[in-house]
Chains A and B, each alone.
Chain A
Amino acid sequence: MTKKNPLSFQLNVDDFAPATEAERESLVQLRPSVSFWSDAMRRLRKNKVAMVSLVVILVIMIFAFVVPSFYPYKYEQQIKGALYLSPMHYSEDEQAAIAAGQKVFPHILGTDNLGRDYAIRVMMGSRISLLVGIIASAIILIIGSIYGAVSGYFGGKTDMIMMRIVDIIYTVPDILIIILLSITLRTPLENLAAKPGWGWVQTVGTNLISIFIVFALLYWVGMARIVRGQVLTLKQSEYVTAARALGAGSGRIIRKHLLTNCIGTLIVTTTLQIPSSIFTESFLSFLGMGVAIPMPSLGSLASDGLNGINSYPYLLLAPALLISLIILSFNLFGDGLRDAFDPKMKS
């Protein structure tokens, strides 16, 4: 192959003059460095599915917590003559009232077998389900993370004993124990509710209290294991050693290195625990072991609605679809959080 004549590209002497610093700098492109949080938030914002899920969660929360205060109907309010109304229909009495010039708020989801407006019941049901999910997850977070952190931090024999206990608790079948507990705690809690100042126990329902108790007794083990694992690994990280070598004190190390890395996992695990708790609560409510009547839970509404599946499907479908939506949104958002916090690139 012949060499191309260097002069054929019309080079001149100037081209071979040395390049200045400035000219060289202009070619160097550095990607800007980002902090852990802003990076994670940026990734989260870009995740369309997670963002949509977040919006859905917020909308449902507004409907569950804010709207009922302004709603013209109460969840336990039984309207005479307005049984089993289809969505957006009025009873005869109500129609008469409208004709007489009164304003009657439409039954958006109709009414149930006792003439109660279904939309408000579904909203209250969502409130209960969400509350249970969040409170249960908070309980699990607190107990689990403290237990796990202590176990991981101290290590050695303490760790071994604590983890043996966790193993045994893990093996016990939880649903069975929940059911047992709710049966057995029913009477003692009812007696407690009779005492002054404990009346709220009756409203909330003994079953629900049992559920919380079982969550506090059994369900935190998963979180404990995760936190312990994190603490154990992080204790030995090279960047912890490096920070120490550079002269950082324990406080700074814990704050800036250990905690920051833990928080991501904690947030993700808790967010994903919420739908799991809601799942369990609705399961139990469906079987009749959830909140006390007349307070509705999406699970118990679905269970009642099952009886009228042939003639009044909306009584079943509304709470069923809503609970699915809640759990799905939390799952998708939790997944999105996990992807945002994970520095390893997904694709």
Chain B
Amino acid sequence: MKEKIDTAAETAAPNVHNPEYLVDIQHERLSFFTPAGEVKALNDVSLHVKPGEVLGIVGESGSGKSVTAYSIMGLTAYPGRLIGGDIWFNGHHINEMTEKQMRHIRGNEVSIIFQDPMTSLNPVYTIGNQIREVIMLHTSKTKKQANDRARELLTLVGINEPEKRLKQYPHELSGGMRQRVMIAIALACEPKLLIADEPTTALDVTIQAQILELMMDLKKKLGMAIILITHDLGIVAGTCDRIAVMYAGKVVESGTTDDIFYHPAHEYTKGLLQSIPKLNEKEHERLIPIEGSPVDMLNPPAGCPFAPRCRSCMKICLTRMPETDMSDEHFSACWLLDKAKFEARGEEKA
């Protein structure tokens, strides 16, 4: 495919940070420079999180949701690199921060918990050691004080017998308990933002509910904002204030939870909602999947990435990327919106 030069970005005015937002990502572009070529993981992503708000980022594997979140913390893995856009967090302009400055805010102002609690904890050190580590790194507490705090945290996240647990190793705990420990580590320094990357995917359904409940509970207690990343629409329904739907490195729709669930505007969002099997469906009803296969990120198409799978695909969708203006509360990156406006104008004129 021939490369499309993004003339819009070149001629646009520089991004301006909105100080009301805790997290403000504008037109972020990020690529991984692999031996096979440049993988354009993020292709103009814009989203924001207000203090104390819960934002859900929803999308399939490879849509770029984790990459976006990691870029806030500067955890982008080699060979990835930010190649466009701006990221602001808590007043810091992430693009311009040095590695040393980033280390100050990691674990401190922003924390993250990962998908697989089995492998996210170092198997050769005790739980206590791993919690104390982050406390003593960012505060001036002594080892004893850090230990007391660790015990407090374990109780906070609902782990019983905290004194005993501190001396145990990760393999001696269950999956749910390990995830609670991860949460304890993440909250140790009372961050303003907690990023949860598919926190419940690796856990049983019953434990899932417990962990989510715990997170919401802690959010109320500590007043932090949460970015909840998942591919499961069921999880975001009960927990998130706002939702951003991502596909192929773009945010294709964003709005409040009600907006997304009751008034989906983008064909992809509609497709996702339709494909959820419903309990009250009649027997022998076919499941409705989204046809086609995901995009090859080495050679993303020039137009809307969802075009080949979209049932309302128009000619323009194949050749040009729809706008990604985020000023509206409920926004959808789709030419259909413009078509409506276009027709309205046409009718006006006529």
- Which residues of chain A have a CB within 8 Å of any CB of chain B? 1, 3-4, 6-7, 9, 11, 13-19, 23-25, 27-31, 347
Contact = CB atoms under 8 A, between A and B. Distances in A.
A287 B292 CA distance: 68
Interface of B: 1, 35, 292-293, 296, 299, 301, 303, 307-308, 312-318, 320, 323, 325-327, 335, 338-339, 341-342, 345-346
Which among A1, A3, A14, A15 has the greatest number of chain B C-beta atoms within 10 A? A15
Nearest to B326: A1
Given A11-B316, A24-B313, A28-B292, A16 B325 contact: no
Given A6-B338, A27-B301, A16 B315 contact: yes
A257 B335 CA distance: 48
Contact of A15 (B1, B312, B315, B325): B315
A4 B338 CA distance: 11
A16 B325 CA distance: 20
A16 B303 CA distance: 13
Contact of B317 (A4, A19, A347): A19
Nearest to B336: A16
10 contacts: A3-B327, A11-B338, A14-B315, A16-B339, A18-B313, A19-B313, A19-B315, A25-B308, A30-B293, A31-B296
Given A19-B317, A29-B1, 6 more contacts: A1-B325, A4-B323, A16-B342, A18-B312, A23-B318, A25-B308
Contacts of B338: 6, 11
A29 B299 contact: yes
A19 B307 contact: yes
A312 B232 CA distance: 76
Contacts of B313: 18-19, 24
B325 A3 contact: yes
A11 B301 contact: no
Contacts of A9: 320
A16 B312 contact: no
B316 A15 contact: yes
Contacts of A6: 338, 341-342
A30 B293 CA distance: 9
Nearest to A3: B325
A331 to B, nearest CB: 24
B40 to A, nearest CB: 14
A19 B327 contact: no
Given A4-B323, A24-B307, A28-B308, A16 B335 contact: yes
A19 B335 CA distance: 13
B296 A29 contact: yes
A344 to B, nearest CB: 15
Contact of A27 (B307, B312, B314, B346): B307
For the complex of A and B, the 9 pairs showing the least CB-CB separation, nearest first, are A15-B316, A19-B313, A6-B338, A24-B308, A16-B339, A27-B308, A28-B308, A27-B301, A1-B327
A117 B338 CA distance: 89
Contacts of B296: 29, 31
A11 B323 CA distance: 14
A25 B313 CA distance: 12
A14 B326 CA distance: 27
Nearest to A20: B315
B131 to A, nearest CB: 34
Contacts of A3: 323, 325, 327
Which among B301, B303, B335, B342 has the greatest number of chain A C-beta atoms within 10 A? B342
B308 A15 contact: no
B314 A15 contact: yes
B341 A19 contact: no
Nearest to B328: A3
A34 B226 CA distance: 43
Given A3-B325, A3-B327, A6-B342, A19 B35 contact: no
Nearest to A29: B296
A19 B318 contact: yes
Contacts of B315: 14-19, 23
B342 A27 contact: no
Contacts of A19: 307, 313-315, 317-318
A303 B299 CA distance: 60
Nearest to A18: B314
Nearest to B13: A1
A3 B318 CA distance: 22
Contacts of A1: 325-327
Contacts of B316: 11, 15-16
Contacts of A31: 296
A24 B312 CA distance: 11
A321 to B, nearest CB: 34
A18 B316 CA distance: 9
Nearest to A1: B327
A27 to B, nearest CB: 5
A27 B308 CA distance: 7
A7 B342 contact: yes
A6 B320 CA distance: 12
A16 B341 contact: no
A15 B315 CA distance: 5
Which among B323, B338, B346 has the greatest number of chain A C-beta atoms within 10 A? B338
Contacts of A16: 314-316, 335, 339, 342
Which among A6, A13, A14 has the greatest number of chain B C-beta atoms within 10 A? A6
A25 B292 CA distance: 10
A341 B208 CA distance: 39
Contacts of A29: 1, 296, 299
A270 B335 CA distance: 60
Contacts of A24: 307-308, 313, 318
Contacts of B312: 18
B24 to A, nearest CB: 13
B7 to A, nearest CB: 10
B35 A347 contact: yes
A14 to B, nearest CB: 7
A4 B313 CA distance: 22
A24 to B, nearest CB: 5
Contacts of A11: 316, 338, 342
A59 to B, nearest CB: 31
B225 to A, nearest CB: 23
A14 B1 CA distance: 23
Contacts of B346: 13
